[in-house]
């Protein structure tokens, strides 16, 4: 039996390695790039001709409404097809608000997008020391469209078919989760996967999740990982 769940709002928490993009945006502003959003799956950095995820680092926090209204306006008039989501980037003991940009077709689109957000009132963090292939813990706020499979207790993403989720009793620390996934992977004989933490808000409160990226055979792999994780 399946139950569709639409427009759930929540968060994904994951670790990515980041690089500076020093020449792609406004002068003396901090822009970071993730070249591999699923390191546990690929195992090496893919070489893309276009940016995968770009983080416009901001010098102050902002709320979801401000970002959403700004994005809607920019999306109408910029002529650039992209997505934007609120994020927090934690690295070297510091936390910073960011706008995560995805869906760009080229690096030349970063500057006009950043300029447009600046016009809307966003203020960007200044460049600091160069960041090259440094690990960061990233939290991304997003909407989900999920389908719940109640015979197995897992969720499938209806918009991103390579993603599946299974609920967990509570959200662990990242280091505890990372150790658990490493142990599973060392004894795993199934298909490749990448794992992240997450949660979404529902009528009955918050549901904590493990998010799995598989690339293929999503349902069967998520079912098996749920059993092993438990």
Express each pLDDT in 115-142 by its tens digit: 999 999 999 999 988 899 999 999 999 9
Question: Within 13 Å, how many C-alpha atoms sit on residue 14's CB side?
Answer: 22
Q: Are strands 83-91 and 163-167 parallel, antiparallel or unpaired?
A: unpaired
pTM of the model: 0.89
Where does residue 217 rank: exposed (0-12), middle (13-18), buried (19+ CB within 10 A)? Answer: middle
Express each pLDDT in 195-221 by its tens digit: 999 999 988 899 999 999 988 778 999
What is the rounded distance in angstroms from the CA atom of residue 172 to the CA atom of residue 67?
29
| Position 20 pLDDT exceeds 80 | yes
What is the rounded distance in angstroms from the CA atom of residue 230 to the CA atom of residue 226?
6
What is the rounded distance in angstroms from the CA atom of residue 173 to the CA atom of residue 204?
23
Alpha helices in 120-195 (DSSP H): 174-186
Q: Alpha carbon 193 to chain centroid distance?
A: 15
Beta bridge partners of 20: 32
């Amino acid at each position: 039996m399946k139950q569709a769940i639409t427009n759930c709002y929540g968060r994904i928490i994951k670790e990515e390695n980041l690089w500076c993009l020093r020449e792609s945006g406004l002068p003396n502003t901090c822009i970071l790039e993730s070249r591999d959003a699923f390191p546990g799956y690929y195992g090496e950095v893919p070489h893309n001709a276009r940016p995968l995820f770009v983080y416009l680092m901001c010098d102050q926090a902002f709320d979801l409404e401000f970002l959403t209204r700004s994005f809607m306006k920019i999306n109408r008039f910029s002529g650039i097809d992209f997505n934007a989501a609120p994020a927090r980037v934690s690295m070297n003991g510091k936390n910073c608000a960011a706008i995560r940009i995805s869906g760009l077709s080229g690096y030349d689109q970063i500057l006009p997008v950043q300029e447009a957000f600046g016009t809307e009132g966003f203020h960007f963090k200044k460049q600091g020391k160069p960041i090259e292939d440094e690990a960061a813990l990233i939290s991304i706020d997003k909407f989900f469209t999920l389908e719940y499979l109640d015979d197995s207790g897992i969720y499938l993403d209806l918009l991103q078919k390579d993603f599946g989720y299974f609920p967990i009793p509570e959200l662990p620390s990242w280091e505890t989760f990372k150790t658990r996934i490493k142990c599973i992977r060392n004894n795993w004989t199934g298909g490749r996967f990448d794992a992240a933490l997450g949660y979404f808000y529902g009528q009955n409160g918050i549901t904590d999740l493990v998010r799995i990226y598989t690339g293929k055979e999503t349902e069967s792999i998520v079912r098996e990982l749920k059993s092993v994780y438990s």
